[in-house]
Structure 1
Amino acid sequence: MSATGAKNTPFSLIGGDVTISGNLTASVDLHIDGMVEGDISCAALVQGPDSRITGHVTAQSARLAGLVDGSITAEELVVESSARITGDVLYASISIAPGSRIEGRFTHKENGPVATGELKLIANDSAA
């Protein structure tokens, strides 16, 4: 089973004891538990909570749980509660778990030209 859950889909794993300096390109799904200092381009990315990425991330889908210091471009983006992201985010669909932290601009990518705007997170206060 792949890092994204699809059966019989090849994937590559970068373990927690691995540090890569330089750009990383994969035509398959990629699971990162280690550190990458460079840009990443892959089909689907799953980032472990203890992982750190310094560079631009480009993926069809990305599930981020660790530290990312760089911009992100993904059609489908899931930000886990343990994620800490510093950089701009370009997405078609996004899910952000409570507890995560993102510092940067959000840009929604539509089927045509890129539409820019701000994402506002509104807390629901049931006491009001």
Structure 2
Amino acid sequence: MSATGGKNTPFSLIGGDVVITGNISASVDLHIDGKVEGDIECAALVQGPDSTIRGHVTARAARLAGLVDGSITAEELVLESSARVTGDVRYERITIAAGGRIDGHFAHRDTETTTGELKLIASDKSA
């Protein structure tokens, strides 16, 4: 299913009742609410909180709220509070909401740079 997102940007939607076994490659943005067993490569990815991805994710931007069992490579990565990632993460910019979890290694995409931008959003302002 293809639709048009904000600013006339095309995107594809994978609904919550859809299970895909195999790799996905898209030149447009993807919104995934279902389950994917395979690698995903797209312009931008939005993952719903009940979604499961088992495979490598490569995207310019990714906003994750469900389970990802695999590595992630993204320029800009946002993990919502419900996100659970098991795998290594390569990023340029990353934001992790309080409650978001990653079990894996972090590495900035620019291998010559030893520090990256890591933004943690805490719900407790006193910490």
When the two chains are superposed, the root-mean-square deviation of aligned CA atoms in Å is 2.2
1:8-87 residue pairs with structure 2 within 5 A?
8-87=8-87
- The TM-score, its normalising length taken from structure 1, stands at 0.85
Indicate how the Cα distance of structure 1 residues 43 and 106 shifts in structure 2: closer, same or farther if over 3 A, else same. same
| In structure 2, distance between residues paired with 1:65 and 1:114 | 30
Runs (5+) with no aligned partner, structure 1: none
Which has more strand, going by share of residues? 2
- 1:87-107, Cα deviation, whole Å (9 max, x unpaired): 000000000000111100000
Percent identity of the aligned residues? 73
1:43 is displaced (CA, Å) by: 0.1
Runs (5+) with no aligned partner, structure 2: none
Indicate how the Cα distance of structure 1 residues 116 and 25 shifts in structure 2: closer, same or farther if over 3 A, else same. farther
Equivalent position of 1:99 in the other structure? 99
Count of matched residue pairs: 120
| In structure 2, distance between residues paired with 1:17 and 1:26 | 20
